Amino acid sequence: MDYQLMYDITPLLLKAAWVTLKISFWSFWLGLIVSSILVATRLSGILILVWLSRVYVSFIRGTPFFVQLLVMYYGTPAFGIELDAYNAGIIAIGFNIGAYMSEAMRGSILAVDHGQNEAARSLGFSGFSTFLYVVLPQAAGLMIRSVGVLTVIMIKSSSLVSIISVVELTYQAQRIIGSTYKPLEVFAVAAVLYLIIIYGVRYIIDRSYDHYTRYLH
């Protein structure tokens, strides 16, 4: 085990890990937005929107993310859209994770007891206000765990953007392996960094979960 090498490559990999974090950060929020749109259209009751939402989610979940990424980067120029790899990556991840999140969101919104809706409506709240003040706060607690699991999966999927030459953690690891021929050492450092990122995210999710469910205890 070449410990000296591991020590030497750490700064490089740290920089690349930071890129992974940035990508994950932006993809997460894009995913939430996409997810919210999907849930809103799915629960809207307008048939064409419901259908579109279902088809989108089904397609995204039923096809490999890698292929979606390739379409987003290599396929979009056919429509006159030129995306750089970094943005293509974020958009592809966001659109992908949004589909999965929408199922979690929808499930938790529907899981909020219908009586809550009735109580709020009987006080005179509009449908939207009821959703905002009564249903959503409760659904949040229910969906955080699932969203957390999805976020971890998303961070691992982000490794695929290395293929379109985004200099994130996996890309850098592969490059270093290619020049040093010490895959085990490089893998070890890269793995540790991924695990730190993932545990960091898990921590944030757990604290958020505690916050949103504090009224339950």
Partner 1 sequence: MKLNFVPVLSYFDSLLAGLWWTILLAVSAGIISVFGGILIATIINYTSRIVSAPLRFFVWLFMGTPLLLQLWLFYHGWAQLDILLPAMFIGIFGLGFHYASYNADVYRAALETISHGQYEAARSLGFGHLRTLFLIIIPQAMYRSIPQLGNNLIIMVKDTAILSIIGISEMVLAAQYAISVTYRPFEFYITVALIFYAINLILESLLNHYEKKSLIKL
Partner 2 sequence: MINSKEKAMVEVINVKKSFGDIHVLKDITLSVEKGKIISIIGPSGSGKSTLLRSVNHLETIDAGEIWFDGVQVNQPQLKGRAFEKHINRIRQKMGMVFQQFNLFPHLTAIENVTLAPIKLKKMAKKEARELGRYFLAKVGLTDKEVVYPSKLSGGQKQRVAIARALAMEPKVMLFDEATSALDPELVEEVNQVMKQLAKEHMTMLIVTHEMNFAQEVSDRALFIDEGYVVEEGDPKMLFNSPTQERTQLFLRKMLTE
Binding residues for partner 1 (CB under 8 A): 59, 61-68, 70-71, 74-80, 156-160, 162-163, 169-170, 173-174, 177-178, 181-184, 187, 190-191, 194-195, 198
Distance of closest approach, residue 78 Cβ to partner 1, in angstroms: 4
* SS3 assignment for 57-98: HHHHHHCCHHHHHHHHHHHHHHHCCCCCHHHHHHHHHHHHHH
Torsion sign, CA atoms 160, 161, 163, 166: negative
From residue 34, how far is each of 31, 65, 100 by CA, in Å? Answer: 5, 16, 10
Distance of closest approach, residue 160 Cβ to partner 1, in angstroms: 6
Residue 3 site contact among partner 1, partner 2, none (CB < 5 to 8 Å, cut-off depends on kind): none
Distance of closest approach, residue 213 Cβ to partner 2, in angstroms: 9
Q: Is 137 among the residues that bind partner 2 (CB under 8 A)?
A: yes
Distance of closest approach, residue 54 Cβ to partner 2, in angstroms: 25
Question: Any alpha helices (H) in the chain, and if so which ranges?
Answer: 3-42, 47-62, 65-70, 85-111, 114-123, 127-130, 136-157, 169-180, 183-212
Burial tier of 136 (Cβ tally within 10 Å: 0-12, 13-18, 19+)? middle
Q: Is 3 among the residues that bind partner 2 (CB under 8 A)?
A: no
Distance of closest approach, residue 136 Cβ to partner 2, in angstroms: 10
- Judged by CB, which is closer to partner 2: 24, or 138? 138
**Using CA atoms in the order 128, 134, 135, 140, what is the torsion angle rounded to 10 degrees?**
120
Could you tell me the end-to-end alpha-carbon distance of the chain, in angstroms, rounded to an integer?
A: 49
Distance of closest approach, residue 122 Cβ to partner 2, in angstroms: 4
> How many residues bind partner 2, per CB under 8 A?
22
Residue 48 site contact among partner 2, partner 1, none (CB < 5 to 8 Å, cut-off depends on kind): none
From residue 152, how far is each of 100, 147, 198, 203 by CA, in Å? Answer: 12, 9, 6, 11
Closest CA to 24 of 210, 194, 211: 194
Residue 74 site contact among partner 2, partner 1, none (CB < 5 to 8 Å, cut-off depends on kind): partner 1
- The site string for partner 2 over 91-130 (x = CB under 8 A, - otherwise) reads ----------------------x-xx-xxxxxxxxxx-x-
Contact residues for partner 2, defined by CB under 8 A: 113, 115-116, 118-127, 129, 133-134, 137-138, 141, 215-217
